[in-house]
């Protein structure tokens, strides 16, 4: 059984994450405006007129935020497409009906939900509904999965939206979230070190990817049971060491001592991709990390060339296809 968390927003006592209050309001327009800034623009429409009893507590780590929310009235919440983040929700009290993608179901205490960025979503919270919510940037989820699989991912991650109460792995993950909520309330300070924050999020994402059903679960479990052959690992090590240099299949043949066919078959069977696609994804990840950390004095061209991209037009197309924005947009942000 999950540990209980007391909730009482009206008197602002014993509320999860109460030290991290984002707002407490009786005004539905104010609630919608503030929530839109941290999630996405959405429709928020109470079933009847009059004041609401809404509050939102939010602790943002880095790519992950943990939240407590209630509205205190029957209300329609329609975010549409989340776009660039996943949202995991667990009712602590009450219930909510959720329509997302092709699923339509009601979550109650102990039964959680997973909302994908690419699924159109609308919800109806009843007046007693009080939830924990975990928001995770899609990019962080994709990067973590790619690291676990040791290969690039070639299609969006899609979680099963309905997470039943008898899913012990998912319940265990929510137990971690509840412990985190309690620790934050007791003064835990993960922001004091970037390394602590990264380790915390890495652990949460790894546990989540092995606990909730999604379209890459079989690949993850296969990865656990199959060790890549020596020539694949030799090729990977060489690629990582020479990522800035020109790379070819012939180089990998020379390093590994096996045929081109064996290299392609090894990457296909154990990494689910080709050697050159593997190189492309790693280079794109390096470029993105450097773009995000660079100031206005750096240029996209300089960074792309540094990481082995000589055809800038093709680089830009590949970058936007993977990350949904242009390299220059990443640099600006």
- Beta strands 75-80 and 43-46: pairing type? antiparallel
Residue 139, exposed/middle/buried by CB under 10 A (0-12, 13-18, 19+)? Answer: middle
134, 64 contact by CB (below 8 A): yes
Question: Given this model, what pLDDT does residue 323 score?
Answer: 78
96, 26 contact by CB (below 8 A): no
Residue-by-residue pLDDT tens, the chain, 333 positions:
444 454 555 444 479 999 999 999 999 999 999 999 999 999 999 998 888 999 999 999 999 999 999 999 999 999 999 989 999 999 999 999 999 999 999 999 989 999 999 999 999 999 999 999 999 999 999 999 988 887 778 789 999 999 998 999 999 999 999 999 999 999 999 999 988 999 999 999 999 999 999 999 998 887 766 678 899 999 999 999 999 999 999 999 999 999 999 999 998 888 778 999 899 989 998 998 889 888 778 899 999 999 999 899 999 998 888 777 889 988 887
Question: Given this model, what pLDDT does residue 9 score?
Answer: 55
Residue 21, exposed/middle/buried by CB under 10 A (0-12, 13-18, 19+)? Answer: middle
Strand order in the sheet with 96-100: 43-46, 75-80, 121-125, 96-100, 103-107
CB burial of 179-194 (b: ≥16 within 10 Å; e: otherwise) equals ebbeebbeebebeeee
Question: Given this model, what pLDDT does residue 5 score?
Answer: 56
CATH superfamily of 227-332: Homeodomain-like (1.10.10.60)
273, 154 contact by CB (below 8 A): yes
Q: Per the confidence metrics, is the pTM higher than 0.75?
A: no
Name which CATH class applies to 18-219.
mainly beta
Domain segments of the chain: what residues? 18-219, 227-332
């Amino acid at each position: 059984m999950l540990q209980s968390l007391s909730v009482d927003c009206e008197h602002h006592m014993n509320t999860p994450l109460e030290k991290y209050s984002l707002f407490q309001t009786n005004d539905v327009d104010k609630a919608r405006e503030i929530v839109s800034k941290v999630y996405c623009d959405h429709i928020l429409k109470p079933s009847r007129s009059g004041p609401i009893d809404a509050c939102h507590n939010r602790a943002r780590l880095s790519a992950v935020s943990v939240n407590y929310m209630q509205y205190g009235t029957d209300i329609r919440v329609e975010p549409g497409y989340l776009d660039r983040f996943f949202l995991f929700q667990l009712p602590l009290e009450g219930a909510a009906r959720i329509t997302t993608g092709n699923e339509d179901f009601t979550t109650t205490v102990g039964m959680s939900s997973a909302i994908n960025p690419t699924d159109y979503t609308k919800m109806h919270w009843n007046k007693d509904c009080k939830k924990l919510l975990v928001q995770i940037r899609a990019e962080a989820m994709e990067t973590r999965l790619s690291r676990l699989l040791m290969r690039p991912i070639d299609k969006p991650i899609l979680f099963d939206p309905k997470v039943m109460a008898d899913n012990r792995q998912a319940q265990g993950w929510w137990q971690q979230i509840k412990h985190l909520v309690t620790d934050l309330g007791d003064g835990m300070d993960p922001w004091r070190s970037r390394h602590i924050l990264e380790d915390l999020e890495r652990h949460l994402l790894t546990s989540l990817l092995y606990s909730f059903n999604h379209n890459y679960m079989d690949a993850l479990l296969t990865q656990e049971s199959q060790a890549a052959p020596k020539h694949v690992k030799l090729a990977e090590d060489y690629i990582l060491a020479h990522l800035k240099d020109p790379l070819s299949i012939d180089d990998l043949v020379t390093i590994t001592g096996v045929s081109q066919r064996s290299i392609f078959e090894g990457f296909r069977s154990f990494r689910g991709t080709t050697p050159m696609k593997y190189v492309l994804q790693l280079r794109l990840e390096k470029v993105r990390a450097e773009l995000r950390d660079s100031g206005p004095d750096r240029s996209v061209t300089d960074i792309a060339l540094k990481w082995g991209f000589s055809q800038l037009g093709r680089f830009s197309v590949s970058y936007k296809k993977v990350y949904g924005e242009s390299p220059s947009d990443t640099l600006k942000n």
